[in-house]
Structure 1
Amino acid sequence: MLDKAAHILECFTPDVESYRLSELARCTGLPKPTVHRLTADLVRLGWVERSGTRYRLGAKLFELGSRVPRRRDLREVALPFLQDLFEATRETVHLGVREGLEVVYLERIHGHDALRLPSRIGGSLPLSCTAVGKALLAFSGAELTEELLSRPLPSLTPRSLTDPALVRAALEKTQVAGLAYEEEEAVEGVSCIAAPVFAGGVTVAALSVAVPRERFSAARLAPAVRTAAIGLSRVLREGRRTEDGARFG
């Protein structure tokens, strides 16, 4: 039964945030009476919310996710650096970590432009389609890169890198520069620059800035991104405590 409930929850994505029961039944392949019974239980638990005839993920899931200790601690330690990065650029900034072959976004601070971005807090995107993902991938070892390149590469836009040779070349450039770039590969009209964050010699996260393509300037953004990532890495390396006393590193 838990597997079936999980199938329902996994239907919700940044692109499709609400469903009718019939749509959930089609998405999961489960009988409609089963979906009706399970969604009623999920609503009772607060994991799903009902609005009229439509269902969406509930706030309880966000609350549970925020209790994951290591990620919560990382977000709290990183937040001042994200705020500094936002102040320096006035653009949308992200904090992301790797989960398998995807980026999971722990925090996002919006810039003044209302960019249409696929990233959302708690949401995930393919590593190869984002600057955050490339920054994580480039410094996480050859084995992970080969695992990713052994599979069909996802495409979110016509400019997403689906040729393994192009992804490999992008990662090599990232390793040399210490910065990863993404040009309209996750969403059209937006470019991004990211830098890895290290703790104990391991890549634990990446910070990024996303801007409208026509306003992208590596010369303007790179120093701020690099400075924020180095500062956060230093704090994590020293294992400083967060405000609530939790320790990271």
Structure 2
Amino acid sequence: MSETSPGDVPRVRGKRPPQGDPVVDRALALLSAFDAAHPSLTLGELARRSGIPTSSALRLAGRLVAWGALERDAEGRFTVGLRLWEVASLAPRARGLRQVAMPFLGDLEEVTRQHVLLAVREGGDAVLLERLSAHAAIPVLYSVGGRLPLHSTGVGLVLLAYAEADVQEEYLSRPLLHEPERTPVSEAALRRTLADVRREGMAHFRRKVPRPIVSVAAPVFDAADRLAAAVSVVVPQEGADARVLGPAVRTAARAISRGLGARRPLGPGR
């Protein structure tokens, strides 16, 4: 039988220690307090959004600043640190994909002179890995590293259409709203849209606010014939020609797929 010193806190297998969450969980809670709408936080905001007492938040934030995961400006506000970005950039799922995709995304941006997006699915969202934008491109809602709704974006529709059946059913069972209009999504209509995407091998998405846009997206596959990503263009609705955009996006998606080692035909109805 092992001995326990007076200062030791008894642990129960499978349960957290009685004195609170593990330090790593609290540190992750601090990092999770940041998002696209809150890129900079005061200590009070950091404590409130993470649910951690201010004294503990200050201590943990100090450790994260020392390591480089957070930075603190002269006014005392915290932001995500460059060291965290350096580590995140090593993620194999994104690194190899971006390296292969970038030349073809650049070609697509030259053709459209607007926005070109590369995204992957992470849980119930699309995560934007890369966005190339021309100088005169229209404003868009999402930035690199941000999460996009699967049902309200071109890349999202592709990622959802080619997701596993159980993933689709779980997603479709939710109450969904179109973003940013906040109007309800018809489950039946979304099912028909996903079937069209799979049949055509491409998604066409239109949004009216904050200004009318058209997004055309296509799937990217890897060497194991699995969906790896989605690539799209986002252009103003006026003057958008699907006869030009569709083949251009499909050509880029096929080229990226071949670069990843995909061998099967990549046409509609795949």
Q: Shorter-chain TM-score category?
A: 0.7 to 0.9
May I ask how many residue pairs the two structures share in their alignment? 238
TM, length-normalised to structure 1: 0.87
CA, structure 1 residues 182+238, in 2 after alignment: closer, same or farther (shift >3 Å)? Answer: closer
Whether the aligned pair in 2 keeps the contact of 1:159 and 1:184 (CA below 8 Å) is no
For residue 8 of structure 1, give the secondary structure of its aligned residue in structure 2. helix
For residue 78 of structure 2, give the secondary structure of its aligned residue in structure 1. strand
Superposition deviation, residue 69 in structure 1:
2.3
Give the structure, 1 or 2, with the largest relative contact order (CA under 8 Å, sep 6 or more): 1
Give the counterpart letter for 1:203 in structure 2: L
The equivalent residue for 2:123 is 100
For residue 166 of structure 1, give the secondary structure of its aligned residue in structure 2. helix
Give the counterpart letter for 1:233 in structure 2: S
Report Cα offsets for 1:129-179 as digits up to 9, x if no partner. Answer: 211111111122322210111223254311666332222122112112211
Superposition deviation, residue 192 in structure 1:
1.6
Give the counterpart letter for 1:137 in structure 2: L
1:14 equivalent in alignment to 2:43: no
Structure 2 distance, partners of 1:204, 1:39, is 35
Q: Which has the higher helix share?
A: 1
Structure 2 distance, partners of 1:96, 1:160, is 24
CA, structure 1 residues 8+188, in 2 after alignment: closer, same or farther (shift >3 Å)? Answer: same
Structure 2 distance, partners of 1:114, 1:20, is 34
| Aligned match for 1:4, one of 26, 30, 36 | 26
CA, structure 1 residues 8+135, in 2 after alignment: closer, same or farther (shift >3 Å)? Answer: same
Q: What is the percent sequence identity of the aligned residues?
A: 42
Output aligned runs, 1:124-203, within 5 Å.
124-158=147-181, 162-184=185-207, 188-189=210-211, 190-199=213-222, 200-203=224-227
Report Cα offsets for 1:57-98 as digits up to 9, x if no partner. Answer: 111111111111232111101111111111111111111111
Q: After TM superposition, which residue ranges in structure 1, 4 or more long, deviate above 6 angstroms?
A: none
Superposition deviation, residue 39 in structure 1:
1.4
Highest Rg: 1 or 2?
2
Superposition deviation, residue 204 in structure 1:
0.7
Structure 2 unaligned spans of 5+: 1-22, 264-270
1:85 equivalent in alignment to 2:138: no
Structure 2 distance, partners of 1:160, 1:142, is 25
1:41 equivalent in alignment to 2:63: yes
The equivalent residue for 2:19 is none
Report Cα offsets for 1:98-129 as digits up to 9, x if no partner. Answer: 11111112111112235433322222222222
CA RMSD of aligned residues (A): 2.0
Whether the aligned pair in 1 keeps the contact of 2:158 and 2:197 (CA below 8 Å) is yes
TM, length-normalised to structure 2: 0.81
Moved more, 135-144 or 215-224: 215-224
